[in-house]
Structure 1
Amino acid sequence: MYRKVFISYAKEDIRFANELYDHLNTKKYDPWLDKNKLLPGDNWDVAIKNALREADFIILLLSSRSVSKRGYVQREYKLALQHWEAKLESDIYIIPVLIDDCKVPESLTRFQWIKYDNSNTYEAILKALDVQRNIYLKDAYHTDLTDAHYTKSLPLDLYIPLNIESSVEFPQFPQNPLFNAEYVNAFIQHDIMEQMSYYASFMSDEDYYRELPEHLREHLYFSSNYEIHYISSKYLSLILFVSAYWGGPHPNHRIVTKNFSFRPVKKLSLKDVVKFDDIKDFIADSFTRYTNEYLHNEDEGHLVNRIKEEFEQWGATDMDFVFNADLLTLMSNNMLPHAFQGAANIEIPLKDVELLIAP
């Protein structure tokens, strides 16, 4: 929702258009570029007009070539201005981007432009898109919650220069009529930053890094992404996926699940969602009953015993889970070795448990 970005450009500036298109794609926006979207046999004139009309944002790549060129580029400028007439004057809708020292057309001077120079250009464009998208989303919560969030990124902050790839993305929610977004966002960001801090502290140990074999250093990375598992006017259930490699036989993968109820906003544990007397017994019974078919043999007992041992060893009182309107999913990824990851999750129909909530 509110992710469609139309990119207008002159054919001589296709390199810049492609770079912007690729960058927006990686940031979960939906850019429209004729070279990538038009299919053989399409009526290109109709397709372009439809894409312009349906776009939530229009980025105009301005250059000395495009602003002085007669033809379709000028028509796109005029169509963009026509669609802008239906927006609020305060809306961010048309974003001019100067890719050389051209003169901005008089009709576009009312819009703040940005100079295309380096990666900071992309960040500035994304900031503008995110600001306006959040405004739209505040009004959209009551009608469509499925995409009512935006993606935030953070750099992996290391105090010594290391060649470590990082991609950190997690969901954040704009303030809205249903719940205190600041409260929810703080919990989500805290968990991601805690994982980042652990990894950064580990990799900033100069002795450890120095002893790493050279062939392993080039593969070091830290990444996070997410999945909104369920959102309604009452509940939010999501998964944060964290993956990192700091040397050794294989990468390390973790999940962090977050579940909230609204009005008042509250972080949910498993015992807030399902009624049980003892969590170890509930987990053991659930995995015995719902484990994947291929583990319904001697391996199943080993799996259940391993999970029970984890609870007893660490004194755990909760486990990772997500839910939707039909299923409760218990996720033991963090408790099990890699060999059992295929059986780490089980799905329990909500009708089979005594619920304390009403999704």
Structure 2
Amino acid sequence: MEPRDVLASLDRAGHRPRLAGYSALDRYFKVKGTPTHLWIQSTAELVDLARLFEGLEYPGLEGVEAALTLEDTRIYFVTPHTPPPHPLLALTHDPSRDAFQAPDALYPLLRSPALALPTPFTLSHALTCAVLLSRYPYTPPPTLPTLIPSPHPPTETQAATLSLILTGRTPWHGLALLSRTEALPRLWPPLARLRDVHHVKDYHPEGSVWEHTLEALKHRKRPDLLLSLAILLHDIGKPDAVPHGTNRFHLHANIGARIARTFLRDLDFPSSLQDDVAFLVRYHMLPGALPRIPPRSIAEILSSPLFPMLLELYRCDLSSTFRGPQPYYQACRAYRSFLKARRNPFRDPRLRRLIKLYVE
């Protein structure tokens, strides 16, 4: 089943489904790609939803009656009566008529280049505004409201929000807002610690580890969630790394892989995603050394289906510095040489020669 099948089932049953909130805004601003989350509003009661869809869940989130997990998308069935955390989320879209509906006062906000921030400003407001800045063409005001004490949003809301931020076109805008309003240390302390670790300007002129991370996100070619999480977390081990000789961040990739896994586990991301991100974080330094390492010694890593994404992570990491793309191209050539050698029928998976050939 795909999201459009869910909409079609509701429509056939006469429940008038509409895309709501971020999903309606994605449609309004023509955001491309498969959504990680989908918000659907309809006239269906809970018993109707249970009758139509197997595997219905009840996450207990405010304004959400039920949820449904598809292969790549988490669907939320929302009530029309709960006030949204931001006026822009009042927008809905009727797929059957391809028509938007919203209060008249909303349209000036939709077309304004600056994002209006609600007051009082809570953690939930901060997360909502971070998504709006990451996914849509808004700019934050020069001054931000003071964050007032408020309960932490549920873990599932935090995970959904982080996914929406990172799959947006400009995630650095949303993450910067969380940092500037001090929502970041309250929500995700491991990320906030990156702000206090400063790089040597000879290698990272862009500034702190946090500033480097935001800069690296700008070099993505597509807003893929796995890649974006890996970029966000690739240096998360640096605050805990201990200098060793001339290496200021000794073993930070290994440390970071453990912290990244814990961070994602605490947000209830799928275990498969935790594994993939941990792999990318652990080996994110490897492509830079690839031309100097015997391929047979790392054949298992090179054979991973994630290795092309590891190269892309390395490109984004490298592009945020002053060093230029040459090391990335060298790593790509070394990887292509490995793939060519692996296709050689006279070598085993570790590239050892199976048969000695004698030419007389």
TM-score higher than 0.5:
no
Q: Looking at CA atoms only, which structure, 1 or 2, has the larger radius of gyration?
A: 1
Identify, as 1 or 2, the structure richer in helix: 2
Q: TM-score range by the shorter chain?
A: 0.3 to 0.5
TM score, norm. by length of structure 1: 0.32
